[in-house]
Amino acid sequence: MNEARLKYAQLAPEGFEKMRALEHYLNTGSGLAAPLMELVRLRVSLMNGCEYCIHIHTAELKKHNETAERIAAVAEWRASGVYTQQERAALGWAEAVTNIQDGHSPDAVYDEVRAHFGEAETVNLTLVITTINAWNRLAISLGSYAGRG
């Protein structure tokens, strides 16, 4: 994990608090299961190579009693049989949204996520994906900063 270049939460406290408020909403009011969100956050962090966030979300999954097998398989989830169809749809959507430059979230991936999630759940899942991408980019570009909370 790289050392912080800037203490961004101290330098932009209002913006940082808005991001934390969105995280709070997602964690408490989105209607999505915490382990599902953490699987998605871990997958995106692995894709982006954010060691700090990989560590955080691996620890969160352990707190939710996820098995070592399920945690380790996130990187190659397609080849694993340990995820539900809903989790697989969420992981596929996470990849499509994170790599938006590759095919602009293909209809087939969207259709799969919609087969397992309602409209509001799909929006909230997309917010989970976009916020972890934002956190990854902060930690990677400005350095890991424990003030993220």
Please check the confidence at residue 147 and state whether its pLDDT lies above 50.
no
Amino acid, single-letter form, for residue 119: E
Higher-confidence residue of 139 and 70: namely 70
The answer to whether 93 and 125 have CB atoms below 8 angstroms apart is: yes
Residue carrying the six token digits 């707190």: 63
The predicted pLDDT at position 145 comes to 57
Among 48, 6, 44, smallest CA distance to 143 is for 6
Domains by residue range for the chain, with CATH: 16-144 (1.20.1290.10)
Report, in angstroms and rounded to the nearest whole number, the Rg of the chain calculated over CA atoms.
15
The predicted pLDDT at position 146 comes to 52
Please check the confidence at residue 83 and state whether its pLDDT lies above 50.
yes
Amino acid, single-letter form, for residue 56: I
The predicted pLDDT at position 149 comes to 35
**pLDDT, tens digit, for every residue of 3-59?**
778 888 889 999 999 999 999 999 999 999 999 999 999 999 999 999 999 999 999
